[in-house]
Amino acid sequence: MEEFYPQIRTVHIWAVIASGTLFALRGGAFNLLDAAWPKALPVRILSWSIDTILLTAALMLMTVVRQYPFVDAWLTVKVVLLVIYIGLGTVAFRASRGKRTRIAFWVAALAVFGFIVTVARAHHPLGLFSGWIA
């Protein structure tokens, strides 16, 4: 499967871009514009589909490069941050929450998503802050 590493990595990167973009658009439309389409079933199915592709590619990459969460620190941080991101994103789409609360959780989720990307790019648990270590 190592021969497919470049293709799997490309799929993973594009799925990250698609997932983050869709989350940002949905959250902005729902929380800032009070639009209904972000919670429509076809849009949610698209989100789930992209995230399934993203997770599948991630598991394939993990197998190919033989780096694993709870063994390699940077992957452990990514998994922990992913759980936090999912929790924040869930609250950001709860209509029962106040608008300010939803916006705060949406912005926090976007920040966590961005930090996950820096951890992945650096292959270091501190992500963009890894260069600050002497």
Q: DSSP letter at 38?
A: G
Residue 67: CB partners within 8 Å, gap ≥ 6?
75
Distance CA 85, CA 97 (A): 17
pLDDT of residue 2: 86
Six-digit token pair at 73?
Answer: 């620190």
pLDDT average, residue stretch 60-67: 93
Q: Convert the pLDDT of each residue in 74-117 to its tens digit.
A: 999 999 999 999 999 999 999 888 999 999 999 999 999 999 99
Mean pLDDT computed over every residue of the chain: 94
Gyration radius from the chain CA atoms: 16
Total of domains in the chain: 1
> Could you tell me if 87 and 108 are in contact, meaning their C-beta atoms sit under 8 angstroms apart?
no
Would you say residue 134 has pLDDT above 70? no
> Can you give the pTM of this predicted structure?
0.91
User: What residue numbers bound the domain in which 66 lies?
Assistant: 2-132
Instruction: Determine the Cα–Cα distance for residues 107 and 52; give it in Å rounded to an integer.
Output: 23
From the list 49, 53, 47, 55, the residue with the least C-alpha distance to 27 is: 47
Q: Burial, 134: exposed, middle or buried (Cβ in 10 Å; 0-12, 13-18, 19+)?
A: exposed
Give phi and psi for 98, each to the nearest 5. -65, 155
What digits encode the pLDDT tens for the residues 6-43?
Answer: 999 999 999 999 999 999 999 999 999 999 999 999 99
